[in-house]
Amino acid sequence: MKTYLEILLVSLRLGLTSFGGPVAHLGYFQDEYVKRRKWLDDKSFADLIALCQFLPGPASSQVGISIGMVRGGIIGGICSWIGFTLPSVIALVIFALVINGTSIEEASWVSGLKLVAVAVVAHAIMNMGKKLTPDRPRITIAMITAFILLFYQTALSQIALIVLAGIVGIWLFQNKDLPQGNDVGLTYKKKTGIISLSLFFILLIGIPFVASWSSSIYVTIFDTFYRVGSIVFGGGHVVLPLLEAEVVPNGFISKEMFLAGYGATQAVPGPMFTFASFIGTVMSGVSGAVVATIAMFLPSFFLLVGVLPFWDDLRKVKRVRAALLGVNAAVVGLLVAALYDPIWTSAITSSKDVAVSLAAFTLLYFWKVPAWLVVILTVLGNVVISLMI
């Protein structure tokens, strides 16, 4: 019990202070878990990052969950997740409760949040593009993905393009000398892993059937967020277009409210996947937030527990590594399409909006100002400009 409490308290402190997105989170983790507490060494930490980059879902949260499992087994992983996630969940639920049911379309502070979303996603595209599309073949995969999605931006088309990109990746890259990495220094019973993976696929396949005949809003919420949490490669920003395709066209949340919530998510610490908590609150109050949050992160638990005992063997298969290169390139294209619709089309209505977004992007990309501070400055700046004009 003492170990579980320790994991919970340490991760809670990180959840309260870890601003800056997934990359920054990994820096906080290394400082706390590796350097300060020595729960694992640098090699094991790097191996866990490699594993979590391979799996769909929030990579930084998965690293935190993995470290919790190293320290205290599966219960330790749950304690780590709760501590790291809870602060941002509470903040976004409160924000959603405050603004839900109000007319937010004309509010200048909401417009500022939407303009932040333009800068944040553009910033993500620039950073991810450097790493995930460093050559012509992968840039081409990204641009073809964006081209198609700008015509057919649905949840089904996004999934189909991700799968297709993986197949193309195998065809293009399987004969190349791809880095393999070190073995993960973790042991897990394969029987437990098989059970966990089985649960992952049973829910992924079965819940949509249940949702098709059930009228319960909670089944709908669980189905929506579980599916999205199961297919998101590339980190927090990639969840934006997938969720938008699921909840906005179906009328669960307006485009304005969706983007306001996404902008607010940039201002809180912890994982960006807690955006699900905001949407769940808008859809069905606090209980909807609980269901959405659990459903969003549950696939990560199942996959992490399931893949750990097989990871060392799996990552040595060239086709797997080649497919991942194609999938990651498609993720960049998916973000490019999302930058235009729904973000740009909803946020940018004048030259003033372009100027404010450009200023926010400059602060993020060139001046390296923390995202939470850029959110505050952009919202305040947009309110002041709106009062002056």
HSE-CB of 384 using CA atoms within 13 angstroms? 7
Amino acid identity, position 357: S
Instruction: Identify the pLDDT of residue 178.
Output: 66
**Do 336 and 98 contact (CB within 8 A), yes or no?**
no
**Do 370 and 19 contact (CB within 8 A), yes or no?**
yes
**Whole-angstrom distance, CA of residue 344 vs CA of residue 259:** 10
Tell whether 20 is covered by a domain: no
Q: Tokens in use for 80?
A: 């780590």
Q: How many distinct structural domains can be found in the chain?
A: 1
Task: DSSP letter for 138, please.
Answer: H
Tell whether 102 is covered by a domain: no
Instruction: Identify the pLDDT of residue 196.
Output: 95
Residue of 364, 345, 363 whose CA lies nearest to 353 = 345
pLDDT of 264-299, one tens digit each?
A: 887 788 888 899 999 999 999 999 999 999 999 999
| pTM assigned to the model | 0.77
**Whole-angstrom distance, CA of residue 159 vs CA of residue 28:** 32
Residue 41, helix vs strand vs coil: coil
Domain that holds residue 256: 108-388
pLDDT of 113-142, one tens digit each?
A: 788 878 877 888 888 888 889 999 999 999
pLDDT of 202 strictly over 70? yes
Between 233 and 243, residue with greater pLDDT: 243
Tell whether 167 is covered by a domain: yes
Tell whether 27 is covered by a domain: no
Question: Which helix (DSSP H) or strand (DSSP E) does residue 146 occupy?
Answer: helix 136-151
Tell whether 171 is covered by a domain: yes
pLDDT > 70 fraction of the chain, expressed in percent and rounded: 90
pLDDT of 104 strictly over 60? no
Tell whether 11 is covered by a domain: no
Largest CA distance in the chain: 65
pLDDT of 353-367, one tens digit each?
A: 999 999 999 998 999
Tell whether 87 is covered by a domain: no
Q: Tokens in use for 271?
A: 């994982």
Tell whether 19 is covered by a domain: no
pLDDT of 189 strictly over 80? no
